[in-house]
């Protein structure tokens, strides 16, 4: 007998991720689930036994991009017979069987069905296309340790909840992700401890509406978002905590005070406004007014004077008049966000707005309005970034800057990207920098010596 052992070549899985940070984290969950099944991650599609696209449905152009990719996957499949192609995530949930009709897709799996992926893959490899788009009221993948796919090993995403119970009339997310459910806080803290012990120095707690996080324990004990933030912040003073997304309706003063009281909770709030017009906000079924929003901003700035503030906005929603649009511009002018994600309205089939309102702002008009918002925000960003010149920030180093390998980059607490010449520090280090100049997206800085002097 010879003692030689033969190992089976490991099967490989390739995943492309589209959409929000939660999808990125879901991809990490999928790698973990498939890893247990013996699948190794590859970044080379041509070598993959399983190709997955983790998809987004939030706007039509997100879906169009994926349709294009399905054609590309079909080519890869032809070149390597036996390769399986799967569409997972929000578009899988929205389109269901229709995705199988093309004959180019072997697996369709919605966001709550990832535990069944190994089985779906096994059965699909026998030539039977598989689908699982059942949404769950309980699934949080709380016990699964995601396989991190970030490039820097410094900053990790942790999903604290899934789904969404709001019904913003334009939004497809409640249909693709199902009802809101919160994850057991102990599993969240454990995951934060785990990433910290592996060298990570920042976690971002993710949810569609983090302020409605609520865990009810068996003993009647309740943990809300403010308490969860405190628990995660207590893991280590060296672990930074960020979170996204805050809903203007639900963000509480308690959360602001917890942020103020913990140095390691970053002073940045992403607070999507969507529109500056009360008429639009009501049609959008956002549960706040322009006045409420501005009042929240005022409170944030009172409690957290150095807090970064960013937003999302939709131009050209159903029935939006020039006056409504002007209200959005004036709110942008008034608040002066650091950055904004700006979109024009894209009707999503099945949503309340699609059923109730005509998508009646012509695309040229939507584009013009969007461009006006973008131009104004460009000025506000520059103003906001320039206002930081002369300030000193503690930065968590993420690695070399993209443009110049002799410079490092990292974020200040307020989430602004800082770049600075430095060869001594590494990803994961904390350094103090002084801002010497700014663009509308970057703070150009110099290291501060312990004495407080900026180095040249
Ligand atoms: N849960 C977050 C948003 C998730 S979707 C919140 O409540 O703010 C991310 C952003 O996509 C939204 O903030 C919105 O600005 C944008 N968006 C959602 N649906 C859209 C649609 N149908 N058309 C254009 N933009 C949309
Ligand atoms: Fe969509 Fe509104 Fe839920 Fe955000 S809060 S995911 S915009 S329904
Ligand atoms: Fe995220 Fe897009 Fe789904 S924004 S929740 S991946 S529709």
The predicted pLDDT at position 5 comes to: 58
Average pLDDT for 418-439: 97
Q: What would the CATH number be for the domain defined by 150-266? A: 3.30.750.210
How wide is the angle at C-alpha 43 spanned by C-alphas 42 and 45, nearest 5°? 90
Cα–Cα distance, 12 to 16 (Å, whole number): 14
φ, ψ for residue 314, nearest 5 deg: -120, 120
3-class secondary-structure state, position 82: coil
What CATH number belongs to 11-132? 3.40.50.2300
For residue range 166-197, what is the model confidence (pLDDT) as tens digits?
Answer: 999 999 999 999 999 999 999 999 999 999 99
For 354-375, what is the mean pLDDT?
98
Kindly report which listed range (313-317, 365-369, 423-427) carries the lowest average pLDDT score: 423-427
pLDDT bracket for residue 218 (50, 70, 90): confident
- Is residue 52 scored above 50 in pLDDT? yes
Class of domain 290-386: alpha beta
Pocket test for ligand 2, best of 164, 175, 248, 353 (most atoms within 8 A of CB): 164
pLDDT at 453 over 80: no
> Hey, which of 22, 208, 272, 341 would you mutate to test ligand 1's pocket, going by the most ligand atoms within 8 Å of its Cβ?
272
Closest-lying ligand 2 atom to the alpha carbon of residue 286:
2
Residue 390 has pLDDT above 90, yes or no: yes
Q: Residue 257: in which H helix or E strand, if any?
A: helix 253-261
Determine the pLDDT at residue 456.
Answer: 47
Q: Which residues line ligand 3 (CB under 6 A)?
A: 19-20, 22-23, 56-58, 89-90, 172-173, 176-177
**Residue of 15, 25, 52, 56 best suited for mutating to test ligand 3, as the one with most atoms within 8 Å of CB:** 56
- The stretch 392-414 carries a mean pLDDT of 96
- Which bound ligand lies closest to the C-alpha atom of 22? 3
Mean per-residue pLDDT, 191-219: 96
CA separation for the pair 438, 414 (Å, rounded):
15
Summary mean pLDDT of the chain: 95
Whether residue 284 has its Cβ less than 6 Å from ligand 2: no
pTM over 0.85: yes
Q: Is the CB of 69 under 6 A from ligand 1?
A: no
Peptide bond into 245 cis (omega under 30): yes
Q: Measure Cα distances from 136 to 92, 93, 181 in Å.
A: 15, 12, 9
**Measured from the CB, is residue 166 less than 6 Å from ligand 2?**
yes
pLDDT band at 74 (very low <50, low <70, confident <90, very high): very high
Among candidate residues 229, 181, 224, the one with its CA nearest the CA of residue 205 = 229
The full 3-state SS of 139-194, as one line of letters, equals CCCCCCCCCCCCCCCCEEEEECEECCCCCCCCCCHHHHHCCCEECCHHHHHHHHHH
Distance 274 CA to ligand 1 centre (A): 8
Burial of 357 (0-12, 13-18, 19+ CB in 10 A): middle
CATH of domain 392-447: 2.40.50.140
Ligand 2 touching residue 273 (CB < 6 A): no
**Is 330's pLDDT higher than 80?**
yes
Burial 260-280 (b: 16+ CB within 10 A, else e): eebebbbbbbbbbbbbbbbbb
Q: Is 150-266 in the same CATH topology as 11-132?
A: no
> Cβ(293) to ligand 1 under 6 A?
no
Rounded alpha-carbon distances, angstroms, from residue 162 to 22, 86, 168, 408: 9, 22, 16, 35
What residue ranges do the domains of the chain occupy? Answer: 11-132, 150-266, 290-386, 392-447
């Amino acid at each position: 007998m010879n003692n030689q052992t033969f190992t089976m070549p490991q099967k490989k899985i390739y995943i492309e991720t589209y959409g929000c940070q939660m999808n990125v984290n879901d991809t990490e969950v999928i790698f973990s689930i498939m890893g247990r099944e013996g699948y190794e991650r590859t970044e080379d599609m041509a070598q993959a036994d399983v190709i997955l696209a983790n998809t987004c449905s939030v706007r039509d152009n997100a879906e169009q991009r994926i349709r294009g990719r399905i054609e590309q996957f079909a080519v890869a499949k032809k070149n390597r017979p036996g390769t399986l192609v799967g569409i997972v995530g929000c578009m899988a949930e929205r389109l269901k069987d229709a995705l199988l009709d093309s004959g180019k897709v072997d697996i369709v799996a919605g966001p709550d069905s990832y535990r069944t992926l190994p089985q779906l893959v096994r059965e699909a490899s026998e030539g039977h296309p598989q689908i699982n788009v059942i949404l769950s009221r309980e699934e949080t993948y709380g016990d699964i340790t995601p396989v991190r796919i970030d490039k820097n090993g410094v900053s990790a995403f942790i999903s604290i909840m899934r789904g969404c119970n709001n019904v913003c009339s334009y939004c497809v997310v409640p249909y693709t992700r199902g009802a809101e459910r919160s994850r057991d806080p102990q599993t969240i803290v454990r995951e934060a401890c785990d990433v910290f012990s592996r060298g990570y120095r920042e976690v971002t707690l993710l949810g569609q509406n983090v302020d409605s996080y609520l865990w009810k324990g068996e003993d009647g004990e309740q943990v809300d978002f403010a308490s969860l933030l405190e628990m995660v912040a207590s893991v280590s003073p060296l672990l930074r905590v960020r979170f996204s997304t805050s809903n203007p309706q639900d963000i509480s003063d308690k959360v602001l005070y917890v942020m103020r009281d913990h140095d390691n909770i970053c002073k940045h709030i992403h607070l999507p406004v969507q529109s500056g017009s009360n008429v639009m906000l009501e049609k959008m079924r956002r549960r706040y007014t322009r006045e409420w929003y501005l009042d929240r901003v005022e409170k944030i700035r009172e409690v957290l004077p150095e807090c970064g503030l960013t937003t999302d906005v939709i131009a050209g929603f159903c029935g939006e008049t020039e006056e409504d649009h002007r209200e959005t511009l004036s709110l942008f002018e008034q608040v002066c966000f650091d950055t904004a994600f700006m979109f024009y309205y894209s009707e999503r089939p099945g949503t309340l707005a699609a059923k109730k309102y005509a998508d009646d702002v012509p695309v040229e008009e939507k584009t013009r309005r969007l461009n006006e918002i973008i131009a104004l925000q460009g000025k506000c960003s520059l103003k906001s970034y320039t206002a930081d010149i002369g300030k000193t920030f503690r930065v968590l180093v993420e690695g070399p800057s993209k443009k110049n390998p002799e410079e490092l980059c990292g974020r200040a607490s307020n989430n602004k990207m800082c770049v600075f010449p430095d060869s001594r520090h590494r990803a994961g280090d904390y350094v103090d920098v002084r801002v010497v100049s700014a663009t509308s997206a970057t703070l150009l800085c110099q290291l501060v010596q312990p004495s407080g002097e900026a180095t040249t």
